[in-house]
A and B are shown apart, each in its own frame.
Chain A
Amino acid sequence: EDYNRKFELANQYFDAGKYSQSIALYEQVYQRFPKQSEGEVSYFRIGKAYYMSNDYYMGGYFLGQFTARFPFSAKVEEATFLSAMCSVHQSPSYSLDQTDTELAINSLQQFIDRFPNSDLVDTSNVIMDRLRFKLETKSFEAVKLYARTMNYRAAVTSAEIFISNYPVSTFKEEASYLLVNNSYLLYKNSIESKKLERTAQTLERYRTFVTEFPTSKYVKSLKSIADEMEKQLVILENLEAEK
C-alpha cells in the first residue's frame, strides 16, 4: 500500500476535476496520516471536492470539521468561507423554510468577524445582502398574500411589522401603499362604532405615505381615498359630537 502514490493520484484526480475518485483516495490518505500535512491537505480537499461537485451537505460537514481539526492550518480561511458558502447554496427559495438562509447569514458573519482583512469580505457582504433580501421578500410576500385574500386587518398589521423590520426596504413604497389601501378597506368593512377611529388612522397613514413618497405612482389613487376619508371624518365627528 503506497500511500504517497495514492496521495499523488488523488491530487491528479482533484486537479483534473474528477472529484468522486479523488474523494475516495483522499479518505484513505487521511485515515493513514490523520495528523500529518498529507492528512490536512486530504481532509480539506475532501470537503472542497464535495463542494465542487455540488454536494453542499457533505461539503459543509467536512469543511466545517476541517476548521475544528486543523485550527492552525493556512487553509482555515478558505475552509471557513467555503463552509459558509455550502449553507448559502443550501438556502432554498424564499417561499420555503429559511432556516438554512439564517444559518448561512450567521456563518458568513462569523467569517467576516474572524477574517476581517480577507479578500472575500466584500463578496461575503454582497452574498449576505442577497440572503437578507430573501428574508425581506418572504416577509413582504406575506403582506401581499393577506392583501390579496382580503384579510384587511392582517394586511395592515403585517405591513406595519414589515415596515418597522425593514425600514430601508426596496418594497417599502409598495408596502406603505398596501398599508394605506388596506387601512381604508378595513374602515369600509367596519362596524359603525369603529369607523371614526379607522378613518383617522387611514388619514394619518396616508399623510405619512405622501410625505415619504410624494412622486409615487400610487399617490393619485390614494388621494381619492384620502378625500373621501376627509369628508367622512367630518361627518363621523359631528355624529360623535351629537351623542
Chain B
Amino acid sequence: QEDSLKIVAEEDTLSLPEATKPNSQISIGGGIELDYANPVEYTIGPINIEGAEGYDPNAIRLVAGLRQGQKITIPGQQISDAISNLWKEGLFSDVQIFADKEIAGVIYLTIQVAPRPKLSKYRFTGINKRQADKIREQIELFTGKTISENLVYKTKAKIIGYFREEGYSAAKVNIKRIPDEIMMNSEVFLIECDRGKKVKIKKINIIGNESVKSGKLRRAMKDTKQMAIWRIFKSSKFTESAYSRDKIAMLNKFNAVGLRDAKIVKDSVYMVNDKHLMIDITIDEGEKYYFGDITWIGNTKFRSTYLDTILGIKPGDIYNKQLLEERLRMSQDGRDISSLYMDRGYLFFDVTPVETDFTDNRISYEIRIREGKEARVGTIFIRGNTKTNDHVILREIRTRPGDLFSRNDIIRTQRELAQLGYFNEQAFQVNPMPDPQKGTVDIEYVVEEKSSDQIELSGGYGGRNLVTDRPMVIGTLGLTFNNFSVRKLFTGGAWSPLPSGDGQRLSLRGQTNGKYFQAYNFSFTEPWLGGKKPNSLTVYMSHTLLGNGYLKRNAKYEGISITGAGVVMGRRKKWPDDYFSESFELSYQYYDVNNYGSLFPDLPVGYSNDISFKYTIQRSSVSSPIYPQSGSVITLSGKTTLPYSTWEGIDDYSSISSQDRFKYLEYYKIKFGAEWYFPLSKDQKLVLKTRVGMGYMGAYNSSKGISPFERYYLGGSGITGMNQIGGREVIALRGYDDNMLSSSAGDPIATKYTMELRYPISLNPSATFFVLAFAEAGNSYPSFKRFNPLDVKRSVGAGVRIFLPMFGMLGIDYGFGFDKLSPWASGYNGNSDTSIQQKGYFGKLTFTIGMNLGEL
C-alpha cells in the first residue's frame, strides 16, 4: 500500500517520455524499467547535450554536475540536483534529462535544454539621446542578457519610476520585443516612451498649523516645493518618494516645539490642470509638552549635576525629543553625553532615556547609563603601507597599546600622519575593533601611499647677458625625496625607483645659467635621530655664485660667491603643550665679494665669515600641511653671531677698512610670525587665513654697524633663487615690483600683515587646487627711527594655487598696490609710484613656487 502511494508522489515530479509536460524535468526511457521503490545504481556513459546552440556542452555537463564514469542512482537525488542546477543558471526555459539506453549497467543520458532568448540590442523612441543615456544607467540591460518575462516587467517599472522621479507623473512605457533576424534566438527591445507633460506643484496649502508658520513648514519640505519665480535651482516637481520623506521632515518641526502629538489628519494631492497639481495638508497640532524632571542612573564617573550641565535641558523646557537624542548621543559641537564618556575611554558606554512620569503635559525622564569598562588599546594594525615602513608610522601614532581609548588621540594621530605628507589625506581610515569581553580595542589605521617626491626641472630664457647682450638660458634641476631611506641605499631591489620608506628627506638642487649665476644646494634630514625620540637632524651645504657675466679672471668681473654649510637639530616639545617644537641651528657662510659695490655698497671688495647660531620655537596646530582648514602656526626665532666687538677693543670703526670691519660678521636677528586659519563655512572648506610677521636685525656695536648681508628685501613674488643672493631674506608683497619696497642694500626691519580668503576647487591629493582673494600690507625700514608698524603699503588681489605632488605648490596672483613707496625704497618714484599717481593703483602679476617661501 505504502509503496504504491510513493510512486504516485514521485510521478508528480518525474514524468515519463510519452507524457512530457512543459518544463518537465526528467524522462527515463529507452526501454529501462524503472522501479521507484528500488533505485538502481548505474555508471554514467557519454552525456549527450541537445538544444544548446551557442552554449558550451562541457559547461552544461559541468553545471549539471554529471560526469562520464560517475556512479548514479536512478531514481535519485543526483538527477534532481542536475536539473535544479541548470535551472538556477537562468539561461533556459526548459530542461529535461533522458536516459537513452542502458547497457551493462552503463546509462546513456541526454540533457535537452531550450535556451531562453537573449537580448541583442535595445533602443528608445520618444525621448532624446541625453535622457536615453540617463535611463541606460538605471536599467541593467546589456547585449547577451537572457530575456525573461520578469526582466521585461522590471525594466518597464524602472523606466516609469525614473520618469516619475523626474516629475513626469503620467509617463507611459511599452517594450516591444522583436526577434533579431541576424542572431539566432535573440530579440531586439524597442522601448517606446511617452513621458507626457511635466507636472509641477502649483501650491502647498497647510491648514491647522498655529505654532509653526506655513513658510517654515514648506521650507522643511526639502524636495517638495511649490512653484515660485526665484526657484531656479530646484524644480517644483512632485515625486511620491520625496513627498513621503518631506511629510516626516515637516512633522519634525512640530516635535521641535513640544507638539509631539502633531499629525497629518488628511492630505490630498490633486491635479488642477494637466500641468499642475495642488497639495492640501491638514494638521492636528495636538497638545504642547514640556520636559519634566530628569534623573540620572548608573553614572559613577561624572556627577549628575555635571551631566545636567552637559545635557543643557532644564525641567520646564519645551519638549523636544530630537534635542534630547542629540544631547545624549550625537551633537554637532561634540558636547554630548556620549562624547564625554567616549573621549575618556568608555568605549562600551551606553545610554537609554526612559520616560517615567507624565503629568500636566510634563514628561519626566530617567536616563539610564551603562558606563561599562574603560577600554584599553590592544594591538595597532597598519594597512596599506606598501612603501613606508611600519616604524615610521607607528612612532607617530598616539593610541598605543595599554592606553585608555581616546577619540581625541585618534584625531591627533590622523592629523599628524597627514603632516608626514606620505599619505593621501582623503583616504585615511581608522577602524576601532572593540572586544567587550576583554575590554580592549584594537585599532586599524588604513593609509594610502601617495607620491611624496618632488622634481623640478625647468629651463627658461630671460634677462640679458651684459657682456654678449644676448638673452640667457637658465636651467634648474631640483629633486626632493621626502620618504627616503639611506639604510637601503646598498640593498638590492630597493631601487624601485629609489630606496624609500624610512621617512628621511633628501633634497638636491642645482640652478645655473652659465657664468652669470650658479646655485647648488644639498640637504638631508633624519626625523628621528637614533630612533628614540623625534629629534631631527638636518645637514645642509650650499654654494652660490652671481656675477656680471665675465669670467673671474677678467678685470671687468663683478660678482659674489657664497659657500655655506650648517647643522640643524630639531625637537618636539611636551611643554607648554605638545604642539610645540624647537630647533637649534649652527651655520657657517663664507662670502667672497669681487667689485660688487652695486649690490653691497658697504663691502664692495673682500671676504667675510658668518658664523651664527639660531634658535627657533614654533607652535603648529594646523589641520593639514597643504590646505589647512583650522589651527595656527606661531614662530619666534632668534639668530646671532658672537659679539666680536666687545673684546676687539675698538671704539670707532669708521677708520677701519671695510674688509677688517666685516671679516667676521656681527649681528643679531629676531623674527616673529603668526598665522591662523579659520573655517568660515559649515563644511570647513571656505577658510580665512590671517598672518602677521615682523623681522628685526640689530648690531651689537652701532659704530661697527649691521651686516651687509642677511637683510630684508620686500615686494613682489618673494620667489627665491637669483634674488636670494647674499643671504637676503626675500619677502613677498603682492601688488608691487620685486624687492622695490626696500632700500637697494636691503633693510634691517620689516613688517607684513596678510588676510587671505581661500576656497578649494579640488582637495584631491594628486592635484590640490584652490582659489584665493587677499588683502595685505607691509613695509621695510632702514632704521629703528623710521620704524612705524602702521606705515605700510597696501594691496589687494586674487589668485590661484595648485599643489601637484611632483612639483609642489605653484601659484599665480594678480594684485593691485595702492600706496606710494617710502622715500628710502629702491622703487621710490619708480614704476608703481607713477602708476599709482596716474591711475590710483598699480597692477602686478606674480608667480609663486613653493609653499612658504618669501614669508616673514
Contacts and interface: CB of A to CB of B under 8 A. Distances in A.
A146 B400 contact: yes
Interface string A73-102: 000000000000000000011011101000
A129 B28 CA distance: 55
B387 A145 contact: no
B326 to A, nearest CB: 36
B659 interface: no
Given A35-B56, A149-B395, A153-B402, A97 B384 contact: yes
In the A-B complex, the 6 residue pairs with the closest CB atoms: A157-B402, A154-B400, A157-B401, A95-B389, A153-B402, A158-B401
Contacts of B377: 157
A149 B389 CA distance: 16
A151 interface: yes
A35 B386 contact: no
28 contacts: A34-B56, A35-B56, A71-B62, A92-B386, A95-B391, A95-B501, A96-B385, A96-B389, A96-B501, A97-B385, A97-B386, A141-B390, A142-B380, A142-B390, A145-B391, A145-B395, A146-B401, A148-B531, A148-B532, A149-B532, A151-B400, A153-B400, A154-B400, A154-B401, A157-B377, A157-B378, A157-B402, A161-B378
Nearest to A94: B390
Nearest to B494: A93
Contacts of A29: none
Contacts of B400: 146, 151, 153-154, 157
Interface of A: 34-35, 71-72, 92-93, 95-97, 99, 138, 141-142, 145-146, 148-151, 153-154, 156-158, 161
A96 B496 CA distance: 15
A153 B391 CA distance: 17
A95 B500 CA distance: 12
Contacts of B56: 34-35
Nearest to B56: A35
Nearest to B387: A96
Given A35-B58, A95-B390, 4 more contacts: A97-B382, A146-B401, A157-B401, A158-B402
Contacts of A156: 402
Contact of A138 (B58, B376, B390): B390
B532 A150 contact: yes
B114 interface: no
A149 B387 CA distance: 22
Chain B interface residue number, banded: 20 to 34
Contact of B379 (A34, A93, A150, A161): A161
Interface in B393-434: 394-395, 400-403
B390 A149 contact: no
A154 B402 contact: yes
B533 interface: yes
Contact of A142 (B386, B394, B501, B531): B394
B383 interface: yes
A96 B58 CA distance: 44
Contact of A97 (B379, B383, B401, B533): B383
Task: Name the residue among A97, A157, A161 with the largest chain B CB count within 10 angstroms.
Answer: A97
B402 A149 contact: no
Contacts of A153: 400-403
Contacts of A150: 532-533
A164 to B, nearest CB: 11
Nearest to A146: B400
Given A149-B532, A149-B533, A157-B402, A99 B390 contact: no
B383 A99 contact: yes
Nearest to B531: A148
B846 to A, nearest CB: 43
Nearest to B395: A149
Interface string B499-536: 00100000000000000000000000000000111000
Nearest to A153: B402
Contacts of A96: 385-390, 501
Nearest to A98: B383
B446 to A, nearest CB: 9
A95 B379 CA distance: 15
Task: Name the residue among A71, A95, A145, A153 with the largest chain B CB count within 10 angstroms.
Answer: A95
A178 to B, nearest CB: 13
Contacts of A145: 390-391, 394-395
Contacts of B533: 149-150
A22 B382 CA distance: 40
B246 to A, nearest CB: 45
Contacts of A35: 56, 58
Contacts of A72: 67
Nearest to A139: B379
B422 to A, nearest CB: 13
Interface in B603-660: none
Interface in B11-64: 56, 58, 62
A99 B385 CA distance: 10
Nearest to B392: A95
B731 to A, nearest CB: 39
Interface in B581-601: none
Contacts of A146: 400-401
A151 B409 CA distance: 15
A153 B401 CA distance: 7
A45 B378 CA distance: 46
Contacts of B501: 95-96
A63 B376 CA distance: 44
